Structure 1
């Protein structure tokens, strides 16, 4: 499987922040924490999270403004943001969603419900992390059984090639830089030379080489790789 999905919590109340972190980590998520909006923007750039849980009321820059800034960034547009707020009026919910939040949860909230909402957003943005079967152009990948097929032929993939294929299939057509693939496939805490990506892409291409079928992996010169 790919590395655990990474959640960035942006919450200035220490007790709330730690409760969220504890429950997310217990569910197998990797967690980063930020107390302020400025810290959140810096940490987002450094950790490239898969989802952001963002409090509206923050010291300094508000959560609404952080949401607006993130959704303007090319590397953040597809990252789900769940807004947390004590504001319960419909107009506040609408404002949060119109700013770019993908979901809006009012305080006090049920931790179990919030965990479910996090998983629901990841099912849309990173389906392989929640066990969803991926299919694209005759290729089928099942993260639960750790098996992949191209048409009726089962593919012989090593663990790294399996994670690499899963990453590419989650977003067909997206061009992944070597650096992004290193973060997603090998993990952020492991140092691997970027040329290693080329080696494993070559192995994946070989594994996908079913007779009479084209190579589904596209090399984009100076940018990286995509499938489809």
Structure 2
């Protein structure tokens, strides 16, 4: 299924066996049944391909694809979000990225695409990256690079880039910018190993931020510690001291 979606079809068994016999005789190294209309645009979109560019079938497909893109002046997504509120438009851009990502990966629902999960972890490769790029270009009229999933490694980061390019960064409300920053931060934290020394510093900074927001008041924090000490046994307290300070 993975290969079929990219344009590499299963060979007819009888034909495949006869080709194998020919390969053993004349030294052929590749025999494949290729759907060039699916395979060529994705394979050549990321970079020039000296291996394929001289094949007449590839030249015809790539040429017709380029002409169709130049002649197509419709931008369905921009038409849909025209006049939408800022927050609605930001969500629409994220939904656009998630829905196209799900389609490229063969998922039934965009809910399976977590905004802060890396495209790499979702199963993207260079061919699926080109498919996503082509779909987003067709919807928005943009000319995104084939490397977009590597330049913006999560759906949320890519959606932020699309929004800022289409509508301007200043057009997003401060709350939306803060939430997007939190999503980026959450994605970065998820990539830290449990042994990373920075985790403790990050946790302390987050607790400080929560205190500023009123989520963890200083008095409440002291009260919680006091309650834990009151409930702890002497052995538990001594174990805690030994773990934190070491035995003297």
Q: TM-score range, shorter-chain basis?
A: under 0.3
1 or 2, which has the higher strand percentage?
1
TM-score (norm 2): 0.21
TM-score by length of 1: 0.22
* Greater share of residues in helix: 2
